[in-house]
Structure 1
Amino acid sequence: MQWWNSFVSWLTAASNQAVVFGAVVLILSIVVASLLAAWVSRGAVRSLLAQHDRELKASVIGTLVDAATEASVWNSLTPQEQVMADRAVGQADVQLRLLPIKGASVAANWAAHQLAELKRTSATFGYQLEPALLEFRDRLIEWQSKPSRTRKVFQSDLDRWKVANTTSEKSLLAEQDAWAAQQHHDQFTEHAAPVPAPLNYAAGTPSPSTETQRLLDDVQALEVRPLPLQN
């Protein structure tokens, strides 16, 4: 205990008060600076993550709105354009489900149902789909700003659609989709360029290559024919 008594005596000595005070201030400054740096770094990281999430949500929503615009004129698209549109929708659906937001899967299911409805109604009511497009866009933007509140609305819509769609209605909708797809296929098949038929020469008609060869043989025979003798 002798060393402890010596340390306490040195610490409480009047001549060492300035040194002790300076050491305490230095330690407190280091601790405060470390805490402040950690707080600033945490805030910067959180702001970067929030900005990245906002950009990702805006990109996904923009892709879905663009897909809804194409779905409203689905029957006027070529098969290649339909494949590209479906691919973009699939990528946006995966990105939407992977967002770190509660209820992202519910929003993805709601958007998928709305896109399917737009495709189905584009065959007959394409000119009346602008209000549906605006509602689709506004609902997604509202979900981006208020995900918890909008998630309940989306879930209620999904439950209502699930109850409304009976087995007979589902089969009828499937038949309607198949009919629309067949009509679209026939439409673009009719506009396809016809394949030219191969040239068939009759049995008695010589082909161009045979006729040309015969003319060349006649010319060669004339060149080698001997000239008559002159008296």
Structure 2
Amino acid sequence: MDWWNDIVDWLASDQGWRILSGAIIPFVAIVLAGIIGAAVGRAGVHRLVDQRDFETRVAAVASLVTAGQNAVRWHSQGPDAREHAQQVATEAHVAVRLLPVPGADLAADWAAHQLEAMRVNSVNFSLAADDTLAEYQNRLVDWLRHPRKAKRLFSSDLDRWDYDNIPIDELQKPAPTT
């Protein structure tokens, strides 16, 4: 206990107060300012990176929507416009696949399937095409906002479409026995 009293007496002395106010307090203040500055800087950079990621996802989804709008008008376009629309769709597909978002591959595959279906159905332009395009846009926007939830929906749609494409002969084959 004597050492504590010695420290308190020394801090109360003129020499102790000069060292405390001239060296220790400024050092602690500088260290704390550095820690706080680093935390603020890190939070700012993190926010900018998140904003940039969101803008990248929005751009990729917007390009898929543009590809969908071109797919709905597929049969009314000329060969050059079709080629350009196909290039836009391919670039959008690659851009979505490269996104670091859960379900990006599923979303790209789902969109490719939907685009192909819209191209096939564009020959008989109708209100159904507008409804299909609206659903396509809404699902992509939902994926943009809630990637994990939409990932399950895309996966179930892709599984259903794979099952629909299985030839009837394969469905009727008996299971192999071992």
TM-score for the superposition, normalised by structure 2 = 0.82
Amino acid at match of 2:15: N
Instruction: Please give the secondary structure, in 2, of the residue aligned with 1:58.
Output: helix
Name the CA distance, whole Å, in 2 between partners of 1:107 and 1:161. 14
CA distance in 2, matches of 1:167, 1:38: 61
What is the correspondence of 1:9-158 to structure 2 with a 5 Å cutoff? 12=10, 14-22=13-21, 23-124=23-124, 126-127=125-126, 128-158=128-158
CA distance in 2, matches of 1:132, 1:114: 9
CA RMSD of aligned residues (A): 1.9
Segments of 5+ residues of structure 1 without an aligned counterpart are 1-7, 169-231
Shift of the alpha carbon at 1:120?
Answer: 1.2
Q: What is the match of residue 195 of structure 1?
A: none
Moved beyond 4 Å, runs of 4+:
none
- Report the Cα offset of residue 101 of structure 1: 1.0
Using the TM superposition, give the Cα deviation of residue 20 of structure 1 relative to its aligned residue in structure 2, in angstroms: 3.1
TM-score by length of structure 1 reads 0.64
What letter corresponds to residue 136 of structure 1 in structure 2?
Answer: Y
Deviation at 1:44, TM superposition (A): 1.3
Between the aligned partners of 1:20 and 1:106, the Cα distance in structure 2 is 65
| More helix, by proportion | 2
State which structure, 1 or 2, has the greater radius of gyration over its C-alpha atoms.
Answer: 1
Query: 2:164 maps to which residue?
Result: 164
Which deviates further from its counterpart, 145-154 or 13-22?
Answer: 13-22
Give the number of aligned pairs.
Answer: 159
Letter in 2 for 1:29: A
Moved more, 145-154 or 18-27: 18-27
Aligned pairs for 1:206-217 (under 5 A) are: none
- Partner Cα separation in structure 1 for residue 20 and residue 104 of structure 2: 56
Q: Which runs of 5+ in 2 are unaligned?
A: 1-5, 169-178
